[in-house]
Amino acid sequence: MDDETLHQRLAANLDDDGLRMLCQHLVGRTPACHDLDAARLTGKGIEGRTRSLVSYCRMRQSRTALLDSLHEVDPNILGADYPAWREWTIAQDAIPPPPTGPHSSERRQRHKAQLKSLISAMYDAAIVADWPQVISISAAIAELHPGGQLPQNAVVAVSMWLGDAYYTMGDYRQALTGYTNAINGGRMAVAYCKRGNAYYARRRYNLAMEDYNRAIRVQPDYSGAYYGRGSVYFMRGQCVAAIIEYNLVIELDPGFALAYYQRGSAYDQLGYYKQAFADYGRAIHYDQSLAAPAYNRRGNIRYARKHYGEAMEDYNRAIRADPSFASAYFNRANLYLRQGERLKASRDYAKAVELSADAALKAEAEQALQGLGVEVTSSI
């Protein structure tokens, strides 16, 4: 992605009316483009005028606003490229002009180069999920701008990456601060949705739902926000409402593996085991990282239907997919016990005790071991 590629996409898909509508959206979206007038764009024909528009937005650090406006005017022009291109423009728009004041030209250039380098490094660290490095670089940016006077686009980019870092590291309070700063810098569906996720992680479900709704108002086709709403409904025990939201997610993004898994869980809760079983299979197809929990759930469905051989196969698959998945050992132990294989059951219960971080599951496995006459502390 670069400015020339963006210009070519615009020139290939816009006529004069489309360009005029795009400029009107852009003026309404950001104050930086208040003086934009499609009739005053220089250049020969649509080719020259779209090139002039991209140059105008580059000088005003507004290429992200240009992409957002284009997506509103016609989502098909960018299509599936929109999220990746938007990440690129956020990073590029974050590079500010040289600082004003009584500095020498050399010092201004050095300052600009330092900030550009830091933001580029922060972007690279975020892409590879090096979250401690993201936090470290943000501190260096704060030192370079001790008053916090970063350009608006820089604030959005840095705040989003910082929010992602803290969220992934489990510091949801700091993540909320990062995402709120990003929202204050510009209305973005992704920022509202991520803040909603942080509220959800803190069990503030009403606030999470409000942010998911805001994200949908900003971008009605943002699948992550519908997924978030489905998760809130599921946590409230409103499984039918959750399924409706997951259906919308899958309609917008047929490869959204977690939506299949969660919809399967909702069907499971309602007793629609055939639909649940199918959704667990789809989740595995689209994302192998879900294989252990999905196979485990499928095994439970087969166990409940007394298809014990097939249930055993699924528990074995779950353990092969993730040898540390305690719940699969526990469920397989129950099946072994039902089949009269007490030694194998004892070994699996002990493994569940060893691996489980779930206090309730661990206590149940310990109780099962005691029922088999096995000391919990003994080596099996």
**Does residue 57 fall inside a structural domain?**
yes
The pLDDT score that the predictor gives to residue 228 is 98
* Euclidean distance between CA atoms 82 and 71, whole angstroms: 8
Q: Which of 191, 146, 197 is nearest to 167 (CA)?
A: 197
pLDDT at site 376 = 66
Residues 6+ apart with CB under 8 A from 274: none
Residue 246 domain flag = no
> Would you give per-residue pLDDT tens digits along the chain (380 residues)?
677 888 788 888 888 888 888 888 888 888 878 778 777 676 678 888 888 888 888 777 788 888 888 888 888 888 888 888 888 788 777 765 544 555 456 666 777 778 788 888 998 999 999 999 999 998 888 777 655 566 667 778 889 999 999 999 999 999 999 999 899 887 789 999 999 999 999 999 999 999 999 999 999 999 999 999 999 999 999 999 999 999 999 999 999 999 999 999 999 999 999 999 999 999 999 999 999 999 999 999 999 999 999 999 999 999 999 999 999 999 999 999 999 999 999 999 999 999 999 999 999 999 999 999 887 664 44
- Model confidence, pTM: 0.71
pLDDT at 1: 61
Residue 375 lies in a domain: no
Is residue 349 in some structural domain?
A: no
Residue 70 lies in a domain: yes
In a domain, 40, yes or no: yes
CA 296 – CA 156 distance, rounded (Å): 41
> What pLDDT is attached to residue 168?
96
Instruction: Pick the closest to residue 131 from 186, 76, 174 (CA basis).
Output: 174
Whether residue 180 lies inside any domain: the answer is no
Q: What is the structure's pLDDT at 63?
A: 84
Could you tell me the residue range of the domain that residue 16 belongs to? 3-86
Tokens of 315: 């528990």
- State how far Cα 328 lies from the chain centre: 27
To which residue do tokens 């993730």 refer?
322
Mention every residue, 6+ apart, whose C-beta is less than 8 A from residue 94: 61, 119, 151, 153, 154, 156, 157, 158
Provide the domain count of the chain.
1
How many whole angstroms separate alpha carbon 291 and alpha carbon 192?
30
Residues whose CB is less than 8 angstroms from the CB of residue 139 and which lie 6 or more positions away in sequence, other chains included: none
Q: What is the pLDDT of residue 104?
A: 52
Flag whether 79 is in a domain.
Answer: yes
Neighbours of 272 (CB within 10 A): 16
24 Cβ contact partners less than 8 Å away, ≥ 6 residues apart: 38
